[in-house]
Every structure is written in C-alpha cells, then in structure tokens.
Amino acid sequence: MPKVSGVVVVTGSGGLVGAEAVRHYLGQGARVIGIDNNMRATFFGEAASTEWQTKALCELSDQYDHRTADIRDSEAIDAIFQEYSSDIALVVHTAAQPSHDWAAKDPIMDFTVNANGTSVLLEATRRFAPAATFIFTSTNKVYGDSPNRLPLVELETRWEIADDHAYASGIPETMSIDQTKHSLFGASKVAADILAQEYGRYFGLNVGVFRGGCLTGPGHSGTRLHGFLSYLMRCAVTGDPYTIFGYEGKQVRDNIHSRDLISAFDAFRQNPKAGSVYNMGGGRFSNCSMKEAITRCEAITGKSMDITYDPIARDGDHVWWISDLSRFQSDFPEWKLT
C-alpha cells in the first residue's frame, strides 16, 4: 500500500475515528497534526472525555503534533494550515457534535460545530493546501427517517427487509435526503455534507464524503447519547442500567470497525474522486439488532444486563439501517471489510 507523502491533518484526533487515523498514518511514518479540544466532554460529560486518548497519542511518537483548537475558529485553523500549506497531503475531518438527541438541546452549537466548522476546514484546505485529499465523515442521518418507510418485516429478534427488495443488500446513496425528518443533528450534517460535495464538484478539491452507520472500536469514549456498541458493552460489564427506545428492541444497525473505516479512507486517498459520496458501514458483513447485541454482550460477560424498555422511539431514529457498500467497492475493489 503506497504510504502518504506529506503531512496529515486529523480533526477530532482524540475520538474513535480520528485517533485510529492518527495511529494509522503515524504507522506509515507521516507527520500528523491532530486538532481536538475535547468538546466531547462538553457535550456528554467527563465520562466521555477524550483526554486519555490524546495523552496516549502525544506519548506515542514525536511525529505527532497536537493542537488544542476549535474547528469553528477560522483564525486558529488558518494558522495551522498556513504553517504546513502545500506539505499537507491529507485532511481527515472527523470532529463533530455527533448526537441527534444532544442537538435538540443546543441547535446553535450543533450547527456551528458541524456545518460552520466544516466550512472553515474546507476553505482552509482550498486556500492553503488545494492539492490535498479531504475526507469528510458524514452520517446516514442525512437520509432522515426515509428508511422507516421501507416495507420491513418483523422477525423474532429483528426488523428485516424482504430478500427480493431492491435494498436487500443495503440502502444505496440514491435514497433521497429530501422531505424527511432528519433531527437537528441530521440537518447540520446535511449542510456540511452538501458543502463538502460542492468543494469537490465546484472547486475541484479531492473531497470524499463518507456517510457512516454505527462506527465502533476500542478507542470509543462511549456514552449514553453516542457510541452504541461501546456504551452497551460498558453497561454489560459495569451493571449500569441500559434503556432501549422503541421498535421492540428489534431496530437494526450495521457496524463498522474504525480500522476498516480508515482503510476505506486510505483507499480513497490513493485514488481520490472529487465530490464522491459513499455509504459506509458494516453492510451485510456486520450488523445486528438491539436484542441481538444485548444477547452477545450478556454471553461475553456471563451475566444478565439491567435493561429497561421505553416504547417511545427516539425522534427520527432509524428502524433498520444496513449500508449498501457496492458503490465504494466498485470504485475500490481491493478494499474489504475485515
């Protein structure tokens, strides 16, 4: 695999995907600039702090340069990008307010972080490092609750779609993102998603948009409002109560390991297609319902979980989401989930 030649900038470098990206590119011998101001603790409390991850990265290599900056601060971001300018080969933008429940508490903060912050980074890239590849981590929430209109079938442990349905292999990028309830988080990510595409299509920057499903891995600072598998497993181990919201606990998510996600980013980095959009998750390779996940967690710990069921589903939540990965796999046939 060709190594990156130049500087790599990673936003949200203390988070699950950001830290995975930092470790990956440090492993390639690259100079990596991490941007993270631990906003996750602001959003979700100290239990969700990413400081432990940032500390570990700073101790890992002298090739890692951490910057405590807010992505909305154009002056600070411009200074970083101007410092490294044309040496920047890759920008991996993972920083975000990631919870649609939290967004409703402070819509202005949510929008400025997700939309304005992305705007600041795209413009800094255009001005100071226009030859760089820009990876944007979007979300399947840009489709709103449109997936809930699919003709789903209720099975014993999950909702599912018929084998002969057009979406049997997963939901493709052609599903409309219009005329649907997105949640405020979904709306702010739609704005950033479309803006990122436009910097690719209008300005010709090498921008790739990855609409993630559930992302997981050992670097996740999971919390009640964000980090499904991480938080579920934490509750299974500690005995803390866990609440299922709606759909009889049969709602389905595909899950992708952060390492596989970075592998996809790197495949795009080697052969970028400006303005491209990809649904990215575990697909049919890796997915589960809430009930199925709980059963697995209980089997791992050997003890029953403290589960409460709330029949009221989270507003705009998906009943069933499995990503169709065929567009990405067609463009990058060497990439595989592991």
**Distance separating alpha carbons of residues 150 and 146, to the nearest angstrom:** 8
85-103, pLDDT tens digit by residue? Answer: 999 999 999 999 988 889 9
Per-position DSSP letters for 179-216, written without gaps between them: SS--HHHHHHHHHHHHHHHHHHHTT--EEEEEEESEEE
Cα(305)–Cα(130) distance, integer angstroms: 51
Q: How confident is the model at residue 1 (pLDDT cuts 50, 70, 90)?
A: low
DSSP 66-98: EE---TT-HHHHHHHHHHHGGGEEEEEE-----
pLDDT number for residue 315: 80
pLDDT tens, residue by residue, 166-212 = 999 999 999 999 999 999 999 999 999 999 999 999 999 999 999 99
Entry pTM: 0.95
- Paired residues of 270 in beta bridges: none
333 confidence band (pLDDT: 50, 70, 90):
very high
Going by pLDDT thresholds of 50, 70 and 90, the confidence category of residue 327 is very high
In this structure, the number of other CB atoms found within 10 A of the CB of residue 174 comes to 9
